């Protein structure tokens, strides 16, 4: 059982450079919990004092929209880690977590984490490296999206077919990228639809209405008189030419 725990701990990005003997210590400190289906692990806004590693099962990461309806941000399963940021930044939980099925998790408290960190400062370097890797990854997506935005502004949508599809269960920046591509696709479709409508614009004339308005105008005495005068005038001017 402990070997399983150690194997799970080794999957955590932050711990990849941790010395073997520390995993034993770490494994002693984690607390196992079993969640029933629909059980809440924590709510959005809760104080975050620990991280969780999912051993088995599946959970959803949720928040609420402006009408207080649940919005599922993501689903995560075995081997994945939740809430690791809270160990370092002391911020309240940015989203809630609810079990989708019976789920087994391991909890590591901030206190225990800090204690390990003080005994092995290299862990801090490892964490920094992992954060830098994440930062680089995000930056490359931001650069891509910036360039794509420029191209959309020019009406150039050709990158949609060039961009490899992004899995929506990737990290948040990956989700942004997927949403962005979907948005551009939607904008292009609407634009094409509109172009189609514009090109198809042809004079639509209501002939009955046309006739009615025409007859109203020509039905007056003024018009009859005008028509007669106009004919005379034209004849005169033709003579003068």
Partner 1 sequence: MGKIVAIHSFRGGTGKSNVTANLAAQVALAGKRVGLVDTDIQSPGIHVLFGLDETNMGNTLNDFLHGKCTIGEVAYPVGDNAGQLKELAGKYLWLFPSSIRGHEISQILRDGFDINLLNAGLQTLMSEFDLDCLFIDTHPGLNEETLLSIAISDLLIVILRPDNQDFQGTAVTVDIARSLDVPNLLLMVNKAVPGYDYDDLKGQIEGAYKAPLTGILPLNYELAGNASKDLFSLSNPLHPWSMELRKVTEAILAIP
Among 202, 208, 219, 221, the residue binding partner 1 under the rule CB under 8 A is: 202
CB of 105 to partner 1, least distance (A): 56
Q: Which of residues 47-106 bind partner 1 (CB under 8 A)?
A: none
Pairing of strands 40-42, 96-99: antiparallel
Contact between 71 and 64 under an 8 Å Cβ cutoff? The reply is yes
* Binding of residue 3 to partner 1 (CB under 8 A): no
If one asks whether residue 195 binds partner 1 (CB under 8 A), the answer comes out as: yes
Q: What is the spatial order of strands in the sheet that 31-35 belongs to?
A: 31-35, 103-109, 50-56, 81-82
Helix (H, G, I), strand (E, B) or coil at 221: helix
Q: 70 vs 192, which CB is nearer to partner 1? A: 192
* Binding of residue 232 to partner 1 (CB under 8 A): no
- Candidates 21, 162, 203, 221; binder of partner 1 (CB under 8 A) is 203
Q: According to the binding rule CB under 8 A, does residue 1 interact with partner 1? A: no
Tokens 């939980």 belong to 93
| 39 dihedral zone (left: phi>0; alpha: psi -120 to 50; beta) | beta
Cβ(100)–Cβ(17) below 8 Å: no
Contact with partner 1 (CB under 8 A): which of 204, 208, 219, 221? 204
Q: Minimum Å distance from CB 182 to partner 1?
A: 24
Measured over the CA atoms of residue 128, residue 130, residue 136 and residue 138, the dihedral's sign is: negative
- From the list 14-22, 89-97, 113-121, 221-229, the region that binds partner 1 by CB under 8 A is 221-229
Our CB check for partner 1 shows the closer of 32 and 227 to be: 227
Over its C-alpha atoms, the chain yields an Rg (Å, rounded) of 35
Task: Select from 45-53, 165-173, 180-188, 216-224 the region that touches partner 1 (CB under 8 A).
Answer: 216-224
Distance, CA of 104 to CA of 53 (rounded, Å):
9
Give phi and psi for 44, each to the nearest 5. -60, 135
Stretch that binds partner 1, among 4-12, 16-24, 32-40, 230-238 (CB under 8 A): 230-238
According to the binding rule CB under 8 A, does residue 136 interact with partner 1? no
Q: How far apart are CA 58 and CA 45, in angstroms?
A: 21
Q: Which residues lie near partner 1 (CB under 8 A)?
A: 195, 198-199, 201-206, 209-210, 213-214, 217-218, 222-223, 226-227, 229-231, 233-234, 237, 240-241
């Amino acid at each position: 059982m402990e070997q399983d725990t150690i194997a799970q701990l080794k999957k955590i990005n932050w711990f990849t450079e941790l010395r073997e003997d520390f995993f034993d210590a770490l494994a002693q400190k984690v607390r196992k919990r079993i969640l029933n289906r629909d059980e809440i692990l924590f709510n959005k806004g809760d104080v975050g004092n620990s991280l969780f590693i999912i051993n088995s099962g599946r959970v959803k990461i949720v928040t609420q929209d402006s009408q207080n309806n649940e919005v599922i941000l993501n689903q995560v399963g075995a081997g994945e880690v939740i809430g690791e940021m809270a160990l370092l930044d002391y911020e309240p939980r940015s989203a809630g977590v609810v079990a989708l099925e019976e789920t087994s998790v391991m909890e590591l408290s901030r206190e225990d984490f800090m204690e390990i960190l003080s005994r092995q400062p290299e862990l801090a370097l490892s964490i920094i490296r992992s954060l830098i890797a994440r930062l680089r990854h995000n930056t490359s997506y931001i650069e891509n999206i910036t360039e794509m935005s420029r191209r959309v502004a020019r009406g150039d949508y050709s990158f949609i077919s060039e961009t490899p599809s992004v899995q929506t269960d990737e990290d948040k920046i990956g989700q942004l990228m997927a949403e962005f591509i979907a948005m551009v696709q939607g904008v292009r479709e609407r634009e094409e639809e509109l172009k189609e409508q514009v090109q198809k614009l042809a004079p639509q004339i209501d002939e009955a209405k046309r006739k009615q308005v025409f007859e109203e105008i020509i039905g007056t005495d003024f018009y009859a008189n005008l028509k007669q005068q106009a004919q005379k005038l034209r004849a005169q001017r033709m003579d003068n030419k």
